[in-house]
Every structure is written in C-alpha cells, then in structure tokens.
Amino acid sequence: MSIADFSGRIRPDACPGALQVHEAADGPLARVRLPGGAASAAQLHALADCAETFGSGVIELTSRANVQVRGLHSPAAFAQHLAAAGLLPSAGHERVRNIVASPLSGRGDGGVLDVVALVEELDRALCARPRLAELPGRFLFALDDGSGDVAGLGADVTYAGEDSRGGRLLLAGEDMGLRCGPEAAVPLMIAAAEAFLDERSGDAPRAWRIHELENGPSRITTRLTTDLDTRSTVRRPTADPVTGSAVHHEPALPERVGVAARRAGRRVQRDGRVALEVLVPLGRLTPAQLRALADTGPTVRLTPWRTAVSLDLSPAEADRAERALSGAGLITDPASPWAGVTACTGRPGCGKALADVQADARRWVEGLTPPALAVKGTTPPIPGVEGLVPPNFGVEATAPPDPAVDGLDRIPGTPVHWAGCERRCGLPRGRVVELIATGDGYRRQPE
C-alpha cells in the first residue's frame, strides 16, 4: 500500500542542490552531493574556501553524508568553483547523486563486502543516463558492506552484502528475494531506479520515494524479474519473493547501538591502522574546522550520522589528528555528551522555526559539563527540558547501555533531537526523544 498523501504537492520536488538553491531565511542554501560521503582533501578545502568566500561560513553535514553551505551571496560563482574542484561531474544529475555507503567498508570488522568501488561505479552509471536526471532529489541509494549500518536507513534502493560473492537488493527497505553478485549490483540498482520512473509516470507522478507508490517494492520487483536484460543477473532464492519482508531489528537495540556507533574515537582497522571517528556538534562546521578535518589523513569520509571518519592512520598520526581536531573545536572523545544530540536549523536560518534550537541545544549540553556544573546558576533552565540529560552524558566510553535505568529519556543511547517546529526536520530514524519548540519553551515527546 502507499503511505503518501500527494494532495499538497503542487510542484515538482524542490530539494536543493548546488545549482538549484533553496531560499532560506538566512539566504540561499546549496546542498553538495558527496556520494558515499567521499571527498578528497583538496575538495574539502575547496568547499571550505567556497563557504568562506561566497557564503556565511556556515557548513552543515546532512543525514545523507552530504554538505550544505548557508547564506550564499553569489550562488553562480559558488557553483563554478565547485565544478572546478570536480564536485559537479554532471550538472543535470547533481541533485540525484544521493548515495550513502558503509563508512568503514574495507576496513571494519563487521563488513563482508568492500563497497567502495561500487559507490564510484554507481555514481558514474547514474550520471551516464540522461533519464535518471528525472529522479526526485529525495530518492536515495545505499551500499551496505554487510555490517548493517546503512541498510536500515530506508533507502529506496539498497545493495547489502551477504558475503564476498554478493548480496541482496532491498527496495524501500524490503527484501524482495533479489540476489546478485557484486558485478551485477550497479546494473540492477540502476534498473530499479528506472523501474521507479516507469511506475510513477502512471498513477503517481508526484511520488518521490518507492514507498510512496502503492505496492511499490512489488511493482519494481515485477519489472526487474520480467525484463530480459536483468533477469539473467538476478537470483531469486525465496519461494514467494513478491511478498517481501521489511528489514528491521528488535526495537530496543538499534538506538543504543546507533549512538554507540556515533560516538567519537578510535576504531582499529583490519590492517591494524586506525580509523578516527570525529563528532561534529549538531553537524555544523566552520571553514577552519573543515580544513582541519581535511588535513587529518589521506582519506576522510562523511557519514549519515553527521560525523566524519579519518581512515588509514598510524597511531602517531591519530595522536596528531586528535590534538588538531580538539584544538579546532571538534570531538574525538568517546565519552562526549554530544553523541546522539541532533537539531534542525532553527532560527534565524528557518523562517518557520519558533526557537534558536541550535543555541538552546548547545546551552543544554555545555551547561551540563564541567566547568559549567561547578558554578550553579550559570545556565538558566530551558522550559520543557528540565531533568533531561544528553544520551551519552555520564556514560563511560566503554560502558554498555543500562536497560535498568527508568524512563526512555534516561536510557543511554536514545538520541535527543531538537526541532524548531512541528515539521521536525532532520529527525533521526528509530526511537528518539524529541524536543519540539512551542514558542515559550519545548514540548518533550514522548513525555
């Protein structure tokens, strides 16, 4: 069944890009796609320079591992400099290059299939097909190395590794019984995207996602398995694959694991080198911070959790990176209370917001950490937030979540999201404590 209501959609998808900017309250906003969260050090420096030269200097990480630059005063010059840096390989496809991937693929213990090359192959294939420029800007691809870190993000088309020989195709998060080897993964994903365009052209021209089509996953599966060009690449091991099954976990587990995964700190790679996860408070960077991040090591990837990972570091390089990043105001401490705290743009950037949620969230977190705690009364209470603490507050970096703690908002690992209005933009998936601005404080949900 479709869960979409298209009655309010009177115009095409207006999702911003680097060329089609969004007119925000604080000026034009551009979104730059970085497939798989990957960018070279030179490209990250170029982004920092562009934000500083042509914008307000506010850089935001998105939940799709992309980058937003706010307050542009010269959007055309901004786009020209991005193109020169290799960040706009196809002007026609720049809003549809939405690809998330496992950030530690090829390095982490949980993965079974390295998807790094598949990200690049998918991006090239996407840009090579003029028709796919018609995809909505919200349509999302995902490549999961088998660790399960991005398979649960609800992408429209996901390829999830099962072993080194291949994986399964998920449609709107549903396993429809489609399997293929890695050599066929990208052609199958492209075929699924084209099938979506075919299906929406009939009864749902305003649909932006597969799940918005009535029986969308089943309809896409039927097209894939009846098309002669794709049938030979697909393995169908299930007896009744059309019914599918949603990919999900036990309800209590993902959020705890999720916040633990979003904690900053070191991860040991398979080859013994270090991957350093860097937490960006509220997903906002200054140009200087982005440059510091770019200079940490040979490979930096942004993640769908608004963090960044610097890969392939020696222990000594990780030491130097931690010092440099800490000096720049970024987080590398696993025990930081910033883990699991998110917020929408809020005032003054959003005209619909009822509060400056970014400032309130910072005041909340920083008011509960030394040295603020040592001086009572220095941080006035925020109406509606009394008694709430950050999900990682007071939790040792190695301590497991404690399920015995009473109250949803006290379970270590439950994210807290600050929203400036009822639209609740940027809300993380799964169980979340929401703080929704009311104009004279915040409403906590669940209470």
CA max distance for the chain: 71
Q: Rounded mean pLDDT of 146-153?
A: 94
- pLDDT value, residue 396: 55
- pLDDT value, residue 409: 34
Phi-psi region of 340 (alpha: psi -120 to 50; beta: other; left: phi over 0): left
Q: Rounded mean pLDDT of 64-87?
A: 97
The answer to whether domain 1-13+95-248 has CATH 3.30.413.10 is yes
- pLDDT value, residue 302: 98
Q: Is the pLDDT of residue 414 over 90?
A: no
Residue 187, preceding peptide bond in cis (omega within 30° of 0): no
- pLDDT value, residue 82: 97
Confidence of residue 201 (pLDDT cuts 50, 70, 90): confident
CB atoms within 10 A of CB 13: 16
Higher pLDDT, 262 or 206: 206
- pLDDT value, residue 88: 96
Q: Is the pLDDT of residue 33 over 80?
A: yes
Q: Distance between CA 295 and CA 325 in Å, rounded?
A: 10
Of 59-68, 104-113, 425-434, the range with the lowest mean pLDDT is 425-434
- pLDDT value, residue 386: 79
Higher pLDDT, 429 or 19: 19
- pLDDT value, residue 231: 67
pLDDT tens-place string over residues 341-354: 999 999 999 999 99
Q: Which of 60, 134, 150, 137 is nearest to 97 (CA)?
A: 137
- pLDDT value, residue 109: 87
The answer to whether domain 335-447 has CATH 3.30.413 is yes
Q: Is the pLDDT of residue 171 over 50?
A: yes
Residue 447 DSSP one-character state = -
**Given the structure tokens 């298209």, which residue do they identify?**
6
Q: Is the pLDDT of residue 151 over 70?
A: yes
The CA–CA distances, whole Å, from 222 to 69, 198, 230, 241 equal 40, 12, 11, 10
Q: Is the pLDDT of residue 209 over 80?
A: yes
Q: Exposure of 337 by Cβ count < 10 A (0-12 exposed, 13-18 middle, 19+ buried)?
A: buried
Please list, in sequence order, all residues whose beta carbon lies within 8 angstroms of the beta carbon of residue 334, skipping any fewer than 6 positions away. Answer: 263, 264, 265, 397, 398
Residue 28, preceding peptide bond in cis (omega within 30° of 0): no
Token duo for residue 109: 């213990």
- pLDDT value, residue 384: 80
Confidence of residue 428 (pLDDT cuts 50, 70, 90): confident
Ranges of each domain in the chain: 1-13+95-248, 253-327, 335-447
Q: Would you say the CATH fold of 335-447 matches that of 1-13+95-248?
A: yes
The percent of residues in the chain predicted with pLDDT above 90, rounded, is 71
Confidence of residue 240 (pLDDT cuts 50, 70, 90): very low
Q: What is the mean pLDDT of the chain?
A: 86
Evaluate whether 53 touches 69 at the Cβ level (below 8 Å). no
- pLDDT value, residue 429: 82
Which is it for the CA torsion 12, 15, 21, 25, positive or negative? positive
Q: Rounded mean pLDDT of 10-24?
A: 86
- pLDDT value, residue 367: 79
Q: Domain 253-327: state its class.
A: alpha beta
- pLDDT value, residue 412: 53
- pLDDT value, residue 408: 30
Residues in the chain: 447
- pLDDT value, residue 80: 97
Q: Is the pLDDT of residue 307 over 90?
A: yes
Cα angle 238, 106, 321; round to 5: 145
pLDDT tens-place string over residues 372-399: 433 344 456 788 887 787 877 665 555 4
Q: Rounded mean pLDDT of 410-427?
A: 82
- Listed in order, strand segments (DSSP E) in 105-247 are 141-144, 157-163, 166-171, 174-180, 245-246
Q: Distance between CA 300 and CA 10 in Å, rounded?
A: 40
Q: Rounded mean pLDDT of 74-93?
A: 97
Evaluate whether 4 touches 212 at the Cβ level (below 8 Å). yes
Q: Rounded mean pLDDT of 421-430?
A: 90
Q: Rounded mean pLDDT of 15-26?
A: 95
Q: Please give the distance of CA 54 from its chain centroid, rounded to a whole number.
A: 25
